Structures are given as structure tokens and as C-alpha cells.
Amino acid sequence: MKNLYVKFIVITIGMILLSFIMAFIISNAYYQQKLKPYNDDKNTKVALDIAAFAEEHPEIGVQEYLKSISRVGYRICLIDNGGHRTYFGEPFRDKSLSHSVQQQVLEGHIFHGMLHFPKQTFVTGFFADELRNTIGVPLKANGSTYALFIRPDIEFLFNEMHILFAWILAIAIFLTIVMVLIYTRYLVKPISNMTKATKSLAGGDFQVKLDSTRHDELGELSRNFMRMAEKLAQMEDMRKEFISNISHDIQSPLSNIKGYTNLLDTESISKEERNQYISIINNEITRLSTLTKQLLLLASLDRNKEIMKEKPFHLGKQLKELVRNHQWAISEKEIMLSYSLPDLEIVADPSLLNTVWDNLLSNAIKYNKPNGSIEISIEEKEETVIVRLADTGIGMTEAELDRIFDRFYRADQARTRTVEGTGLGLSIVKTIIDLHGGTIQVISKENEGTTFVVELPR
């Protein structure tokens, strides 16, 4: 059974059948234990009543009387002293009856054939129209003794009401099966659709559409599935964009280098021009080198998380040293830098964190305004440490803020074009902070400034 639909239906019908069998076995046990003796008892009373009535009213005539009794739903066998049998009502299917039983009844004993009928199934027990499955009582009339054997005529008693119940049962079963067929289709359909969607995903088509209006687990699965497909599509786009960005960022310095080396080759250039070209080539090579370093760092951060080498070190000291290294650029741009850096020891990877502060500080310098300011502070919390880096620079819009951690993203090209950069800095920062289990938040207002808040576990 490969198909879920078929499986479901077969199991449901199997369950219906199984319930029937179980119900049958249980009611059979009930019949054997309780109903059978009760039935025997009830019919014994009826037989005794019939015999008593016949005895008390000799004027009616035994034969006539029994004939009329048989018409209300009884099968009767009357045996006289000489063993001669007379039947009333529908004939018995099996007329065998041992001689000793006849004899005992004629002698005045009661025969409980119903109670002692072989313990077979419910059907053969209750429905067997056999002479052995009767109640036998002695009957005295007109001076002679008879043995009277009776049992209810099940076929006769199986009247309209019973047929009606049988129909109700049959229709209910039929409708159950039909509804199971329909409902199962409704239940299984989303799964088949999802299978199709998975195949299309595997084939590279991320545009999947699933029914997400259901409120059950399948609806939720569909919604999550579509979300996943969306994310995959985004990642695929990012991958393509990433490759095209890398290619562009490698290609443009290379073509610059090629152009200026060609120019250097011409003999008519002055010494000044030559120096200028060499300096440009040098810058482009530095740019390429930075780019490759950043890419290598990102790749190794992505690939193995075990790259982190955590150890205790002084955070305040690290930041002060960083400021000292950038002092030249800070004073060149005439930026006011203030800091409050208490010495504080944390456990983290010092070299990776240095990359983080370096990126944040060089951004704060790069995207600052002349005569702007930068403020660095450390705040100590119970389990974390918060580093704040605020600048009064060009700031960013909401839309730009959303994307600054994306690889190669650089905000508004018109404003940042004059500033060197690859757009990888902040994505490296974010990756490193994530690796440390920390968080980074940005508060920024266009033309007013930006504050980065980094929180790290100690």
C-alpha cells in the first residue's frame, strides 16, 4: 500500500470490520452467559402455560389449540405415547431427537433443549430451528399423555422492525464508508500537494502555492512550508547577489590596475604622474587585499564555529588601544572622541572582538561629519557587558538600517561613494557577535548620528 489515501481507507474499513467482530464476540458471550438461560426459562413458562391450558380446556381439542398457537409464531412438535409425531407451524430444519428425551418428557420431566444446545456461535445457537433446540413439557389431555416440544419461530419473529433495523445498520455503514472516502481525500490532498511542492523546490522552482487557509496542523505545516520556500528563494537571491558583488568588487580594482600599468608603460609621462599612478595602483591592491581578507574571515566564520578561541582579557584596555591606533584618522577629520572605559575582564575571543570594535570605530569615523564626535562607553551588568559606540555622523534611514548587516550592502551610494568600503564590515561584526551569543542593536537618525549597542555575555 504505497498510497496514503488507500492506506487510510483500508485501515478505516478494517477498523469497522474489527469492531463488528469484537461486538459479535462480546454479545455472543453475553448471550451464552445471560440470555440463553433467560430465553430457556421464558420459553419453559410458555410451554408449561400451553400444556396447562390444554389440560384445563379439554373441550377445545389439543390439535386445534396447538395449530392456533403455532400461528402466532411457534414451531411445535407433539409426540404421543406411541411415539407418533404431529408438527404444527413451520417445519423444523432438523427433526432428530433422541428416544430417551421423548421418553423422559412423557414420564413427566421437562426438557431444556435451549439451555443445553451445543455452545456454538450466537447465530447457530439462537437461530437454529432444530427439534433439539426446544423446550419439552408433558401434556395430559383426553386421558392420554403427550410430549410437547416448542420453540419460537425466529423467521416469524424476525418481523418488519428487525428488517428496519438491519436497513438502518446497512445504510449507516455504507454512509460511513462513503464519508470516509470523501473526508480522506480532503485530509490527504494537502500532503500530496506538499509532496509536489517539495519536488518543485528540489527542481529549483521556489514559487510554491499551497492552501494555507486550514486551521489545523496541516494548515500550519503548509504555512511553514511556504515560509521555508520563501526563505530559500531569498537565500538563493542572496547567493546570486553575493557572487555578482564579489565579481564586481574584484573586477573593478583589477581593471583599474591594468589601466594604470598600461599608462605607466608610456614613456611621455612625468615623474609626478608616474608617482600618482603608482599610488593609485597601490591603493587598488590594498583594496583587493582587504576584500580577500574579509571574505576569508567570513568564509571561515561560516564554515566552522570552532574557530573561536575564548580566553579572559581586559576589554577596556583593548578598546583604548584601538582608539590609539585610529588616532591619526580621528584627528585628521577633526573629530572629538571621548570615552569612559573602566577596566573590565571578559571571556571571549580577543582577536575576533578586536575586528568588531575596529569595524564599528572605523565606520563611526568614516561616516562622521567634520567636527563631529564619537563616544565610547562600557557598562557592566550582572551577566553581560554592554559596549556603546555613538557618533554624530550622517546617520541612516529606516530602510537602510534594515539592510546594513547584509553582505556587501552599502547605504545610499551617493553619500558613501566617496568613502572606501566593501560593505562586508557589519556582516562580519554580526557574525562574530552571534558566535559569542551576544546581540547588536542600532539606533540611527539621518543627519544626526548613529549608536551601536553591543551586549556580550561575560
Ligand X SMILES: Nc1ncnc2c1ncn2[C@@H]1O[C@H](COP(=O)(O)OP(=O)(O)OP(=O)(O)O)[C@@H](O)[C@H]1O
Binding mask 403-432 for ligand X (x = CB under 6 A): -x----xxx----x----xxxxxx------
Closest CB 232 distance from ligand X, rounded Å: 25
Residues 103-142 that bind Mg ion (CB under 5 A): none
CA 359 to chain centre: 43
Residues 6+ apart with CB under 8 A from 418: none
Instruction: Yes or no: say if 424 and 287 are a contact pair by the CB < 8 Å rule.
Output: no
Interface pattern 344-373 for Mg ion (x via CB under 5 A): -------------------x----------
- Interface pattern 391-430 for Mg ion (x via CB under 5 A): ----------------------------------x-----
**CA distance readout (Å), 119 to 104, 142, 191, 456:** 23, 38, 50, 82
Say how far apart CA 350 and CA 365 lie, in whole Å: 22
The answer to the question of residue 156 lying near ligand X (CB under 6 A) is no
Sign of the Cα torsion 176, 182, 188, 192 reads positive
Number of residues near Mg ion (by CB under 5 A): 2
Shortest Å distance, C-beta 403 to ligand X:
8
Choices 111-119, 182-190, 357-365, 432-440; region in contact with ligand X by CB under 6 A: 357-365
Rounded Cα distance, 439 and 302, in Å: 18
Query: Rounded to the nearest whole angstrom, what is the least distance from the CB of residue 290 to ligand X in the complex?
Result: 7
Q: What would the grid cell of residue 260 be? A: 594604470
The residues near 15 (Cβ < 8 Å, ≥ 6 apart) are: none
Listed ranges 21-29, 87-95, 328-336, 402-410: which one lies at the site for ligand X (CB under 6 A): 402-410
Task: Tell me the closest approach of the beta carbon of residue 398 to ligand X, in angstroms.
Answer: 13
Return the one option of Mg ion, ligand X, none that residue 404 interacts with (CB less than 5 to 8 A, by type). ligand X
Q: How far is the CB of 394 from ligand X (least distance, A)?
A: 5
Q: How far is CA 135 from CA 67, 78, 105, 107, 415, in A?
A: 17, 12, 10, 15, 111
| Residues within window 179-198 making contact with ligand X, judged by CB under 6 A | none
Nearer to ligand X, 125 or 395 (CB): 395
Among the listed residues 385, 393, 454, 455, the single contact to ligand X using CB under 6 A = 393
**How many C-beta atoms lie closer than 10 Å to residue 328's C-beta?**
9
CB 385 within 8 Å of CB 347: no
Helix (H, G, I), strand (E, B) or coil at 308: coil
Give the nearer residue to Mg ion in terms of CB position, either 42 or 333: 333
Q: Where are the alpha helices (DSSP H) in 31-92?
A: 36-56, 62-71
Q: What DSSP element (H or E) covers 312? A: strand 311-314
Under the binding rule (CB under 6 A), the answer on residue 330 touching ligand X is: no
How close are the terminal C-alpha atoms of the chain, in Å?
57
Task: Decide: is 364 part of the binding site for ligand X (CB under 6 A).
Answer: yes
**Nearest-CB residue for ligand X:** 425
- Give how many residues touch ligand X by CB under 6 A: 21
Nearer residue to Mg ion within complex by CB, 268 or 418: 418
Cα 322 from chain centroid? Answer: 51
CB of 246 to ligand X, least distance (A): 13
Q: Which residues bind Mg ion (CB under 5 A)?
A: 363, 425
Q: Which residues bind ligand X (CB under 6 A)?
A: 359, 363-364, 367, 391, 393-396, 404, 409-411, 416, 421-426, 450
